[in-house]
Structure 1
Amino acid sequence: QAMKDKKVDFAFYTAMSFVYAEKEANAKVLLKSVWDKPFYYSTVVTKPNRKIASLKSLKGKKIGFVDEKSTSGYLLPILELNKLGVNKEDLQIVYTQNHKNSIEMLEKGEVDAIAVFCNDAKGKKGAWETYFPEKKLKMKTLWVSEALPTDPFTVRKDFFESNTDFTYDVMMTFLELPSTVKDHNILKETIGVTKMVTANSSQYDTIRKLIKDIQ
């Protein structure tokens, strides 16, 4: 809303929020965040000792989702479950509010499975390693989504058109930050990402398709 009202010129969005902002607030993507890679995945995992072999096995089980607006922590997995004939009414849903809480609840046995983000196509490295690297938690992967684009950094299009040089200066500052400060990754310390890379609107087509499927 702030970009739509021209109160801000630049903004970070989640991937899904950007798709709406592009249409409603004239947002133009410039860069995207990189944690491990410039894309990530959604995964549904359980503990190795649970007798749950597949997504279909979750029928009647208690599953932890982040919240209804989370792409990896709810939307993609719930769509996949629906495709398999498992509806919301077939699940005992717990909204955990964040990925870290989801992992903790699974470890405590408060839920049977969780939907969280992961960093590879096989679901081997995920939120559990990000938040609890020292614990070396073991997970059983039930499903992994297709690759998803990471969160974008955007500019309002009319601002870009009238301030092109300044916008490129801002972009270059973000792109060069990780390599210009010795022993400190300012991006990681301030916004939690390893670096920024250039991006374009077409990289978010996966999210547009997801929104279309939801509607």
Structure 2
Amino acid sequence: MLNTAVSRRSVLTGALALGSVAALSGCGGNGDGGSSAAAEITSLEVQFVPTNNDGSLEAKAKPFADYLTEKLGVETNVTLATDYTTIVEAMASGQVQLGIMPPAAYVMARNQGCAEALLTSELGAYDRETGLPIEGELTGTFKGEILVRSDSDMQELTDLKGKKIATLSANSASGYIYPVAELKDAGVDPVTECTLTTVNDIPSEITAVLNGQQDACFVFEGARNVFANSFPDNDLFADLRVLYLTEGDIPNDAIAVQPDMDQDMKDKIKETFLNMANDEEGAEAMSMWSHLGYTEVDESAYDTIEEYTEKASA
């Protein structure tokens, strides 16, 4: 289940370099490099990155596709990206016209000119003292979270020096970029002074810490709440504690489309997602990503991702 990362710098550098490749091959449209075809869109390819790779979301993709087909008036297909990089590649090649994109993936695609955010998702806010959700409060940003076992003797960020840490892809904002960058700011280079191990998803990270295989893991804020049902034999609040929350705020997922998409279709997509929380089918679809609503996008909020990516890959 665990695969030790050989060179994180090369992964990040390679992902960022996708921009130059896409610029040569052409972006947007339906893969033909032209924008005219986009105006006559008759089908829609949608993709998202699952937070849990246990296969449960694949069964929910078809009902979501049917929902979008009904709302948008075009045949829609929904697929799961295998990782953060593949959704960028799919947007860059024009194979996907609508991406539900993690923030770092969106920034990569935006920089290639292959993604335009229509909306930003809203998540439930958390009390940072208790780690519990704040009822009725939504937020457009979140923190990266570092979890350790409750009985760990680590008390501060720099205590991670020399430790084994489970991470997500090097293109994950909370699962790699933000905690790595802030560790470097604190004087610890986790790439050379820790043992970083890439895992497939957050439940796998948590499992590795619970069984002592890893000393810590990088996750998103509220992960113990979101994945509590995946651990029926554990009380994640009793067994794990938060060692550190990132100082930097991470913007939520972007609902992004090909920039040359017909404006009428952009408007339909935007209206559909804004109204999803108001009906049962829409709310069920949103639950796949823990989204509770959508709001107007603030592009400047995503600029911080670039700053942190540069630090993490330095």
**What TM-score comes out, normalization by structure 2 length?**
0.59
Q: Tell me the distance in 1 between the aligned counterparts of 2:168 and 2:93.
A: 30
Q: Is residue 2:114 matched to residue 1:26?
A: yes
Tell whether 2:237 aligns with 1:137: yes
Distance 2:265 2:144 in 1: 36
Residue 122 of structure 1 is matched in structure 2 by: none
Residue 101 (structure 1) aligns with = 204
Provide the secondary structure at the position in 1 that maps to 2:305. helix
Q: Mark the CA change 1:2 to 1:116 in structure 2 (over 3 Å): closer, same or farther.
A: closer
CA distance in 2, matches of 1:187, 1:86: 40
1:212 match: secondary structure: helix
How is 1:1-215 mapped onto 2 (pairs within 5 angstroms)?
A: 1-36=89-124, 37-87=139-189, 88-118=191-221, 126-132=222-228, 135-138=235-238, 139-145=240-246, 146-159=248-261, 163-181=262-280, 185-188=283-286, 192-213=290-311, 214-215=313-314
Q: Which moved more, 1:138-147 or 1:43-52?
A: 138-147
Distance in structure 2 (CA, Å) of the matches to 1:84 and 1:209 = 16
Distance in 1 between residues matched to 2:225 and 2:105, nearest whole Å = 26
With over 3 angstroms needed to count, the CA separation of the structure-2 counterparts of 1:112 and 1:3, relative to structure 1, is closer
Change over 3 Å in CA distance of 1:50–1:3 after alignment to 2: closer
Q: Which residue identity does 1:86 align to in structure 2? A: V
Name whichever of 100-109 and 190-199 sits farther off. 190-199
Of structures 1 and 2, the one with the larger relative CO (CA 8 A, separation 6+) is 1
How many residue pairs get aligned? The number is 204
The CA deviation at 1:31 is: 1.0
Unaligned stretches of 5+ residues in structure 2? 1-88, 125-138
Hey, what's the Cα distance between the residues in 1 that align with 2:193 and 2:285? 42
Does structure 2 conserve the Cα–Cα contact (< 8 Å) formed by 1:10 and 1:156? yes
Aligned residue type for 2:244: W
Q: CA deviation at 1:47?
A: 2.0
Other-structure match for 1:121: none
- Could you list the structure 1 runs, at least 4 aligned residues long, displaced by more than 4 angstroms after superposition: 189-192
Contact 1:187 1:194 in 2 (8 A): no
Equivalent-residue separation in structure 2 for 1:56 and 1:189 (angstroms): 35
- The alignment's C-alpha RMSD in Å is 2.3
SS in 2 for 1:143: strand
Q: 1:90 to 1:212 in 2, by over 3 A?
A: closer
Per-residue deviation at 1:116? 0.9
SS of residue paired to 1:185: helix
